[in-house]
């Protein structure tokens, strides 16, 4: 008998995924637990195994198509079997649940009727949008009743909201409800001049764009800059690498140097949730990874008690997995503090954006030889630039400087954190 296998929620409240590649064609044989399809979520590309053995009678979508969780992914039966016709899936019931806590994307699309239509006694034309898209619209001052959705069945997407947003907003101004325009007007599409081209953003790039816009719009950023004499850090890195015959990523040393500072100043390892500050017990350190598809943040779980070689091995594994897009969704979410080694691509100082749901991020630049004063004498030393961004709602400038001072002390003398 033909059996339908629906797209499951493979983690982190998945609501939809894009089909990247079918691993078994229609008419092909598949065994139980054999990967049948590759799908791309917001951050990861994962293989989904078939729960049944049999013949693939029908794919639930073409490569490049986006399907929702709960929709038919693949139909599997016996060879030569004809799939029975099935009625179209009913529309999901509208939900009016309260918005979720930070990071959840588990709601279904919600159907809304614009206020002006309700006032006029009309309800035929409804607005369909996921709750996370509706919140983005509120944050950016976009009236969803005036936006035409480009998603399936007219659903409004993040891109539709961002395209309809005003050119600029004052983030320090008090929030006000936008007045509905006299006429529904859509912004004219940007024209392509000369020999240019229009490129649709990838799913990952769209996710990055939405996350960056949310963080920058909602978090009042402060960035403090400094430099550290990295002479001892470079020596220790070289010595450990030679002794253990491994490549020691700079991120591993920086993570170990940061842990004592996070313990001394727990507000940097926290999440602001309404009027409450959640101090995390574990130090789940995100590491920014430059991949061909865009920036990903992989997470070193519970870094505090782990040894330097263990962290180094995990950083290498996560970096390779991120570049290959083979990490699981839970390896790409949930960091409590982030380290970004922009020195790996030749960067110096910058203004890193605090990942949403955290309070701080440390950016480490490339060490370059400079003249330094050491006990009154001039010397040449590798100097590493540091940039610390933090949420000013939670962390004051003096506390930011104290945190940075402790990190610098540890980086200048690695024995202080390696002995722990």
The DSSP symbol for 171 reads T
The DSSP symbol for 156 reads B
The DSSP H or E segment spanning 403 is helix 397-412
Distance from C-alpha of 100 to C-alpha of 98, rounded to nearest angstrom: 6
Give the Å distances, CA to CA, from 37 to 6, 67, 327: 12, 13, 16
Active site residue 392: yes
Distance from C-alpha of 167 to C-alpha of 164, rounded to nearest angstrom: 9
Give the Å distances, CA to CA, from 357 to 16, 28, 159, 407: 22, 44, 22, 22
25 burial (CB, 10 Å; 0-12 / 13-18 / 19+) is: exposed
Q: 225, 222, 229: which is closest to 410 by C-alpha?
A: 229
* Residue written as token pair 């949420």: 391
User: Among residues 59, 122, 283, 392, which one is catalytic?
Assistant: 392
Longest Cα–Cα distance of the chain, Å, equals: 86
Distance from C-alpha of 355 to C-alpha of 414, rounded to nearest angstrom: 27
The DSSP H or E segment spanning 32 is none
Strand pairing category for 285-291 and 337-341: parallel
Distance from C-alpha of 112 to C-alpha of 130, rounded to nearest angstrom: 10
User: Contact, 30 vs 50, CB < 8 A?
Assistant: yes
User: Contact, 162 vs 140, CB < 8 A?
Assistant: yes
- Residues 6 or more apart whose CB falls under 8 angstroms from that of 302 comprise 282, 283, 284
Distance from C-alpha of 44 to C-alpha of 325, rounded to nearest angstrom: 6
Residue 232 has which token pair? 């001892």
Distance from C-alpha of 273 to C-alpha of 60, rounded to nearest angstrom: 39
Distance from C-alpha of 396 to C-alpha of 387, rounded to nearest angstrom: 16
Residues annotated catalytic, as ranges: 392
């Amino acid at each position: 008998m033909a059996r339908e296998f629906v797209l499951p929620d493979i983690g982190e409240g998945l609501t939809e995924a894009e089909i990247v590649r079918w691993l078994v064609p229609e008419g092909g044989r598949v065994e139980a637990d054999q990967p049948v399809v590759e799908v791309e979520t917001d951050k990861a590309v994962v293989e989904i195994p078939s729960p049944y053995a049999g013949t693939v009678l029908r794919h639930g979508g073409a490569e490049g198509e986006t399907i929702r969780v709960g929709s038919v992914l693949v139909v599997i039966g016996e060879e030569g079997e004809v799939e029975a016709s099935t009625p179209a899936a009913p529309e999901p019931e509208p939900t009016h649940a309260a918005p979720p806590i930070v990071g959840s994307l588990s709601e279904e699309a919600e159907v809304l009727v614009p206020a002006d239509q309700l006032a006029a006694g009309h309800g035929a034309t409804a607005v369909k949008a996921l709750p996370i898209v509706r919140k983005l619209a509120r944050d950016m001052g976009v009236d969803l009743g005036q936006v035409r959705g480009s998603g399936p069945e007219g659903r409004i997407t993040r891109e539709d909201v961002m395209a309809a947003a005003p050119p600029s907003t004052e983030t320090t101004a008090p929030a006000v409800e936008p007045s509905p325009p006299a006429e529904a007007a859509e912004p004219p599409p940007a024209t392509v001049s000369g020999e240019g081209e229009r490129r649709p953003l990838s799913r990952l790039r769209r996710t990055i764009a939405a996350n960056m816009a949310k963080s920058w719009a909602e978090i009042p950023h402060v960035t403090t800059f400094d430099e550290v004499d990295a002479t001892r850090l470079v020596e220790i890195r070289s010595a450990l690498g030679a002794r253990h015959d491994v490549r020691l990523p700079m991120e591993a040393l920086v993570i170990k140097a940061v842990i004592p500072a996070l313990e001394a100043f727990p507000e940097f390892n926290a999440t602001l949730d309404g009027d409450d500050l959640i101090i995390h017990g574990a130090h789940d350190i995100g590491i920014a990874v430059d991949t061909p598809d865009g920036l990903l943040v992989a997470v070193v779980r519970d870094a505090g008690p782990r040894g330097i070689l263990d962290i180094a091995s995990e950083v290498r594994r996560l970096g390779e997995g991120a570049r290959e897009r083979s990490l699981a969704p839970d390896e790409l979410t949930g960091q409590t503090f982030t380290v970004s080694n922009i020195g790996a691509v030749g960067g110096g100082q910058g203004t890193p954006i605090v990942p949403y749901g955290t309070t701080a991020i440390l950016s480490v630049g490339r060490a370059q030889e400079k003249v330094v004063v050491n006990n009154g004498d001039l010397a040449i030393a590798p100097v590493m630039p540091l940039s610390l961004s933090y949420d000013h709602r939670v962390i004051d400038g003096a506390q930011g400087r104290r945190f940075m001072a402790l990190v610098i002390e540890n980086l200048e003398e690695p024995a202080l954190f390696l002995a722990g």
